[in-house]
Amino acid sequence: EAGVAQSPRYKIIEKRQSVAFWCNPISGHATLYWYQQILGQGPKLLIQFQNNGVVDDSQLPKDRFSAERLKGVDSTLKIQPAKLEDSAVYLCASSLGGVDTQYFGPGTRLTVL
């Protein structure tokens, strides 16, 4: 069974530029999550989708971050414009929903200079 796929794996940008990350969840998983992991900290939930609807985006900085899951499968997370403090690993996870385990992708490491 293929795992959660993410791309790119690494990205370096200048502050005030924009960047987008892509996630393809495990086939059949209805629930998709984006987390931000700053160095030395645990992952923090940014947004949760159930199919193509948003369940929780309370910790998403909506002035600069946006995310979509238009067809209820893959998802894109965008930052525009980026700030230095956005440097982090962005993790995507998926689950069947209900009590199922969340499966994490390898992450995208973003460096903002």
Partner 1 sequence: GDSVTQMEGPVTLSEEAFLTINCTYTATGYPSLFWYVQYPGEGLQLLLKATKADDKGSNKGFEATYRKETTSFHLEKGSVQVSDSAVYFCALSPKGGGADGLTFGKGTHLIIQP
Residues making contact with partner 1 (CB under 8 A): 3-4, 31, 33, 35, 40-45, 48, 56, 91, 93, 95, 97-107
Nearer to partner 1, 48 or 82 (CB): 48
Shortest separation between residue 4's beta carbon and partner 1, angstroms: 8
Residues ≥6 apart with Cβ < 8 Å to 61:
none
Shortest separation between residue 99's beta carbon and partner 1, angstroms: 4
Q: What is the 3-state secondary structure (H, E, C) of 20-68?
A: EEEEECCCCCCEEEEEEECCCCCCEEEEEEECCEEEECCCCCCCCEEEE
Nearer to partner 1, 1 or 14 (CB): 1
Shortest separation between residue 112's beta carbon and partner 1, angstroms: 22
- What whole-number distance in Å separates Cα of residue 15 and Cα of residue 55? 30
Angle at 96 between CA 91 and CA 100, to 5 degrees: 85
Shortest separation between residue 111's beta carbon and partner 1, angstroms: 18
Nearer to partner 1, 33 or 65 (CB): 33
Contact 50, 30 (CB under 8 A): yes
Nearer to partner 1, 47 or 112 (CB): 47
